[in-house]
Each structure stands twice: as structure tokens, then as C-alpha cells.
Amino acid sequence: MIRQLSRLLIAFGAILLVGAPNALAEPTEIVIRTISRDAKFIGTSMGGMRIVLRDADTGEILAQGVTSGTTGDTDQIMRAAGRRAVLANADSAAFRATLDLTAPRLVEVEATGPIAQPQASTRVTARQWIIPGRHIRDGNGWLLEIPGFVVDVLAPPAHLSLRGARQTIDLRANVTMMCGCPITPDGVWNAANYEVRALVKRNGQDAGSQAMSYAGSASQFSANLSISAPGAYEIVVYAYDRATGNTGLDRTTFVVSP
């Protein structure tokens, strides 16, 4: 009888041990937001940012998804100052997850995007300890800054014919902040503050560069490029903000036939 009782106690103890992790798990809310450097949140209008939460030690994926919501309130974001300034409101783009944690975990977050602009896609990672039941959701949540500009070369087309000894072609690009926020003269994101330039190669050799200027419509920049010889051309258009170091680019190729 005593032996049977001992076996029952051992079996019961094993059941408790097996069930303990689930019993002790605490729901822990995590809110991830991604904000464009010197601009607003990256959300639905740009396809969002893909978010992956991993255990930093084991690589186990704990949650994943996409940020969604608005870019937020311009005045609140761009004029906020001071320690612990809250940039987000209820509509600001975010990814929300609830982790069931039984012990503190070192968590790595990875943000990739913006999804709708693959030529401008970048990736940012960060790590921090997460304690069971200690939420990261208030204020700005877990906030990641995303550097870059979204640059999209719109012209020239892929193939041109050289007319005469020299031809002038139109270079045109759309340039926005990573949140999709427009760049305009004297706007919140002032066109005069950004250097936009085209780097040119012909048949793999450096063929100079051309400054691009605001073209009269929001986020549009253009330049006239003089072509004097046929060949395979590569154009790299970059945008650069000296004040923040923010940089983004796009590239295209085209062929000029005789």
C-alpha cells in the first residue's frame, strides 16, 4: 500500500511539473512601432513594415506580422520635444502581439520594409529583455527608427534612340520620407534641405553626375541629362539630408542606340 501511494505521489508530482509552464505563463503585451527618421510612422499607406519577434538566444519566432494604421499626427510627432515625449496616438501604425511568457526572455525584434516600396526596403533590429506580465505598450511602445528615403526613378524609359550628335533626356524621380510623407518647398519636409543627385555610368564607366531640382509637384525632382554617345547607361538617383545623414536611392538602366 505504501509503495502504491508513493508511486501515485510521484506520478502526481510529474503531472504538476509538466503542467507548470502553462500554469505560470503570463500574457505580456508588446506594441511595436516603426518611425521614419525625421518623419512619421510607417503603416498601411506604405504597405507597413514586416515585424518578427524572436527569442534572441534560441532564434525561436515568438510572433510576426505587419504594422498597420496611420502615419500619426504631424504636429504631435514633429513638434514633440523633451524626455519621454509621446509621439503616438491611438491610430498610429503599430504591430501588436501578446506573448505567453513563463520567464524573462531576451527578445529581438526585426523590422523590414516598407513592404510597398521594395527598392527602398531596409532592415532594423533591436533587442531588449521582456519580463512576464510587464507590458511594453504605453507611450510609444517599442519604437524603432527607420532610416532612408523612398526614391523611385520615373524616367527615362528603358530604350532611347540617339537623334543627331547630342540629345537631352529627362531624368525624373519621386522622393518621399520612408513614411510616404511628401517633400515640398517650405513644407514640413522642405525640398531645399535635401540633396537629390543622379550618378551616371556609360558602359560601366563613370560619366559624371547631375543635380536634380524640385520639379513643381510634391516629391518630384528632375534634371536634363545630355547624351552624346550610344551605349548602356546606369543611373543612380540618391537623396541625402546633411542634417541627419539620412540617405536613400534608386537605380535604373537604359540603352541608347545610334
Q: What pLDDT score does 223 carry? A: 97
pLDDT for the residue 164: 63
pLDDT at 9: 42
Q: Do domains 25-146 and 149-257 have the same CATH topology?
A: yes
For every residue of the chain, which 3-state class applies, written as one string? CHHHHHHHHHHHHHHHHHHHHHHHCEEEEEEEEEEECCCCECCHHHCCCEEEEEECCCCCEEEEEECECECCCHHHHHCCCCCCCCCCCCCECEEEEEEEECCCEEEEEEEEECCCCHHHCEEEEEEEEECCCCCECCCCCEEEEECCEEEEEEECCCEEECCCCCEEEEEEEEEEECCCCCCECCCCCEHHHCEEEEEEEECCEEEEEEEEEECCCCCEEEEEEEECCCEEEEEEEEEECCCCCCEEEEEEEEEEEC
pLDDT means per 10 residues, the chain with 258 residues, are 46 42 80 98 98 98 98 94 90 98 97 97 98 96 98 91 78 98 97 97 94 98 92 96 97 90
pLDDT at 17: 40
- Show me where the domains of the chain are located: 25-146, 149-257
Q: Write down the architecture of domain 149-257 according to CATH.
A: Sandwich (2.60)
CA-nearest of 126, 97, 99 to 111 is 126
* pLDDT score of 20: 45
Q: Under CATH, which architecture does the 25-146 domain have?
A: Sandwich (2.60)
pTM of the model: 0.86
Residue labelled with grid coordinates 516603426 = 34
Q: What's the pLDDT at 165?
A: 67
The sign one gets for the Cα dihedral 90, 94, 95, 97 is: negative
